[in-house]
Amino acid sequence: MSKSHLYVTRHLPDPVMTALTERFHLTQPPETAPPNRDTVLAGIRDAEALICTLAEQIDAPMLSKTSHLRVIANYAVGYNNIDLDAAQARNIIVTNTPDILTESTADLTWALLLATARRVPEGHSLVQHGAWTGWEPRQLLGADVFGRTLGIIGMGRIGQAVARRAAGFKMPVLYHSHTPKDFPNHSSWKSVGLDDVLAQADFLTLHVPLTADTRHLIGPRELQLMRPTAYLINVARGPVVDEAALVEAIQEGRLAGAGLDVYEHEPAIHPGLLALNHVVTLPHLGSATHATRIRMGMVCLENVVAVMEGRPAPNRVA
Ligand code: DGY
C-alpha cells in the first residue's frame, strides 16, 4: 500500500520521527532550525498532512498553494500560528496537543517564578565566572515566595495546574478567567476581576491563549495597576504582553521584575529586557521535557492517522 504524503516541518524527537516515517512518506526532510516560507511552501505543496510547530505561520496565501492537504496537526496546544478560517474554507482539519503539556508547562512556570524571585541565574553566573568571593550578607537578595499572593490570569488547564502547586508554598491564589469558573474544592483560590488580580498579586502568571482579545492584555494601564514589588511571569504567548511597556515599568521601578519564556517577536527579544538584571529570560521551554515532547509528537501522529483513515481527529480545534 502506498504511503500518504506528510510534511513535518521540524525534526521532532527520534521516537516520533521513527513512527512518522514508518507510516508516511515525508515530502521533504524536516529542518533542525525554523524553515523559511519557501521551504514550507515546497513541503506542503503535495502533502496530504502537515505537522508544524508554533514557529511556522500557516496563513491563507500559503494554504492557497495546497490542493491535497487534509489535516494540519500543530505540535503545540496554542494554535495562533494557523489561520483557522482559511483552513476551514479549504476543509482542512486543524488539531492541537492539549492536556499532555499541562504539567510540564506548570512546572516551568514555577521554575521561572522561583528563578526570578531568588535571582538564580545571577547567582549561577557569579559562581560560573569565578566571581564569587564568599558568603556575603547583602549578596543577591531576592523576594520571598512562601505565603505571598499568586495572581493567575487564565484559569484553563495550565492555570489550574500552576494554582495547585501554590499549596506547597501556602500562597493564596487570586485568579481572573475570561469565562467564570468555580473551584469548590480549593478554598484558597478566589475569582476576582482583572484589575483586582493586577493590584493584589505579588507574582502574576499568564496562561491565556493569544487571540485578538488577549494581544497586549498586559499593557501600560495594567502594569500601572501592579505593585512595584510584584513580578510578572509569562509562559503563555509573548504578544499578550506589551514588551516596550514592560521594559519601561521595570526600568522606572514600577515593577520588581519579570520571568519570561515567550516574547512578542520571537525569537527576537526587546533589547531593554536583556539589559535588566531582574528579568529572567528562557527560550520558550514550557513543554520542553523528553516525555512531553515525545507525547506531543505521538498525539500529532494519532490525529493525522485518524483523518487519513476517515475517523474523527481526537484533538480537532477547527
Ligand atoms: C504550546 O504548546 O503552545 C507551547 O507553547 C509549546 O511549547
DSSP assignment of 105-120? HHHHHHHHHHHHHTTH
- Cα–Cα dist 73/176, whole Å: 30
10-68 pLDDT, tens digit each: 999 999 999 999 999 999 999 999 999 999 999 999 999 999 999 999 999 999 999 99
Map grid coordinates 499568586 to a residue. Answer: 150
With a pLDDT cut of 90, the percent of the chain lying above it is 98
Choose the residue to mutate in 100, 104, 105 for probing ligand 1, maximizing ligand atoms within 8 Å of C-beta: 105
Q: Ligand 1, atom 1: nearest CA belongs to which residue?
A: 76
Q: Which atom of ligand 1 is nearest to the CA of 288?
A: 7
Nearest residue (by CA) to ligand 1, atom 4, is 76
Q: Which residue has the cell 503535495?
A: 46
108-164 pLDDT tens trace: 999 999 999 999 999 999 999 999 999 999 999 999 999 999 999 999 999 999 999
284 classed as catalytic: yes
**Is 266 designated active site?**
yes
Give the residue from 285, 281, 318 showing the smallest Cα distance to 303.
318
Predicted TM-score (pTM) of the model is: 0.97
Mutation to probe ligand 1, out of 287, 292, 296 (largest number of atoms < 8 A from CB): 287
